[in-house]
Amino acid sequence: MGVDIREILQKGYIDLPVEQVPDLREEIEKLKRKKNAVILAHYYEDAAVQDIADYVGDSLDLSRKAAETDAQIIVFAGVHFMAETAKILSPQKKVILPHMKAGCSLADSCPVSKFKKFIEEHAGYTVISYVNTTADIKTVTDIACTSSNALKIVQSLPENEKILFGPDRNLGEYIRNKTGRDILIWNGHCHVHERFSPERMKRIVKKYPEAKIVAHPECKQEVQEMAVFIGSTSQMLKFVQEDDGNIYIIATEPGIIHQMKKKKPEKIYIPAPPADYSKDSSICEYMKMIDLKNIYLSLTYELPEITLEAETIEKAARPIRRMLEISDKNGI
């Protein structure tokens, strides 16, 4: 019985002998042109994947690009919820995620049945969800947000509005502390950002006293308190470019360092280490599932494809569009 490549690809990933393809980069470029496809990549992707992409950005940039593109096919070099967001914003396009198992621990920490119950128990609250959630969660959300616009979205609401925020507890605490608003927070987290070790980071600062800690708001409170700057991936990138320092400890997934080095190669970037001493950085294994090989295969077969029910798309689009409107109004 032969192997059904298309079926296996749709479910996950198949390790075909693409080594026979002489130059993956060249072939990907050719396929992109032939099929009118665009590759969108998140900053956490491997350097080779970022370099082949048409756009590299944070969650907010990429959702905007997905909404605007006139390409027929969107290859999402990122994780499942990002590709779903692209499909929700561009339902007429074919959206491909090169490895169907590229998930997200944070999205997984918020199952829809439990989140719905949380909402039902708190009638009268406005539901704000981080984009790092499934399409189903977005269907029960009032406004979506990313780490780039979360503060502005909350501040755009009337001061007495009661807010229910999910799923990231660290980002939720960060927003509550910064805005002083009445916010109930879902107890979810991202394993990549939770495992940074404050002790190991302090040791690096002892060795390089001029090192500045720059952190993502998904980091634990203790790590946030050590940071000179807290922001989304694109805000961290902007900070290190504009700041007058020379050495930084980067408390987020280390893929972003590729862009930092490109923009300011003369500066030094040290990935924040996790508590596990056998590792020097905290890698998101989901983001790293995407490589040139599966991008090539996904473009060849136009699989694995993201598909969603029309009703889900319609309901999930509302909070994302509201987020984009508020962001546009606030110049984010």
Residues that bind ligand SF4 (CB under 6 A): 44, 79, 104-106, 132, 190, 192, 253, 284, 286-287
Q: Which stretch binds ligand 13P (CB under 6 A): 2-10, 140-148, 261-269, 301-309?
A: 140-148
Say if residues 86 and 74 touch (Cβ distance below 8 Å).
Answer: yes
Q: What is the phi/psi pair of residue 316, to 5°? A: -75, -25
Question: x-or-dash pattern for ligand 13P, window 75-114, by CB under 6 A?
Answer: ----------------------------------------
Q: Does 50 bind ligand 13P (CB under 6 A)?
A: no
Contact between 147 and ligand 13P per CB under 6 A:
yes
Q: Which amino acid is at 39?
A: I
Q: Which is nearer to ligand SF4, 9 or 290 (CB)?
A: 290
Residue 204 in tokens? 């690096």
Spatial distance between the Cα atoms of 17 and 25, rounded to a whole number of angstroms: 16
- Which residue of 9, 49, 59, 87 would you call a contact of ligand 13P, by CB under 6 A? 59
- Measured between alpha carbons, how far is 209 from 213 in angstroms, rounded to an integer? 11
Instruction: Output the smallest distance, CB 281 to ligand SF4, in A.
Output: 12
**CB closer to ligand SF4 out of 31 and 83:** 83
Residue 105 partner contact from ligand SF4, ligand 13P, none using kind-dependent CB cut-offs of 5 to 8 Å: ligand SF4
Nearest distance from C-beta of residue 189 to ligand SF4, angstroms: 9
Distance CA 48, CA 23 (A): 13
Q: What DSSP designation does 254 have?
A: G
Q: Minimum CB separation from ligand 13P for residue 57, in Å?
A: 8
3-state class of 256 per DSSP? helix
Q: Rounded to the nearest 5 degrees, what angle is found at the Cα of 214, between the Cα atoms of 211 and 220? A: 120
The residue assigned the tokens 């914003």 is: 89
State the Cα–Cα distance between residues 26 and 52, nearest whole angstrom. Answer: 10
Question: Between residue 223 and residue 252, which ones bind ligand 13P under the rule CB under 6 A?
Answer: 232-233
Q: Quick one: what does residue 232 bind among ligand 13P, ligand SF4, none, with the CB cut-off 5 to 8 Å set by partner type? A: ligand 13P
Per partner kind, with CB cut-offs from 5 to 8 A, the member of ligand 13P, ligand SF4, none near residue 286 is: ligand SF4
**63: contact with ligand 13P by CB under 6 A:** no
Q: In angstroms, give the least distance from the CB of 147 to ligand 13P.
A: 4
Side-chain half-sphere exposure of 30, counting CA atoms within 13 A: 10
**Which candidate, 192, 202, 199, 233, places its Cα nearest to that of 215?**
233
- Where do the DSSP E strands lie in 181-284? 183-185, 212-215, 229-230, 247-251, 268-271
Nearer to ligand 13P, 90 or 252 (CB): 252
Residues in region 164-193 near ligand 13P by CB under 6 A: 190
Q: Which stretch binds ligand 13P (CB under 6 A): 25-33, 133-141, 146-154, 307-315?
A: 146-154
Q: Shortest Cβ distance from residue 277 to ligand SF4 (Å)? A: 21
Measured in degrees and rounded to the nearest 5, phi and psi for residue 76 equal -95, 105
Q: Distance between CA 2 and CA 5 in Å, rounded?
A: 9
| Distance of closest approach, residue 45 Cβ to ligand SF4, in angstroms | 11
Angle between helices 292-301 and 24-35 (to 10 degrees): 30
Residues in binding contact with ligand 13P, number by CB under 6 A:
11
- Measuring CA to CA, which residue among 308, 170, 234, 216 is closest to residue 42? 234
| Min dist. Cβ of residue 44 to ligand SF4 (A) | 6
Residues near ligand 13P (CB under 6 A):
58-60, 132, 146-148, 190, 218, 232-233
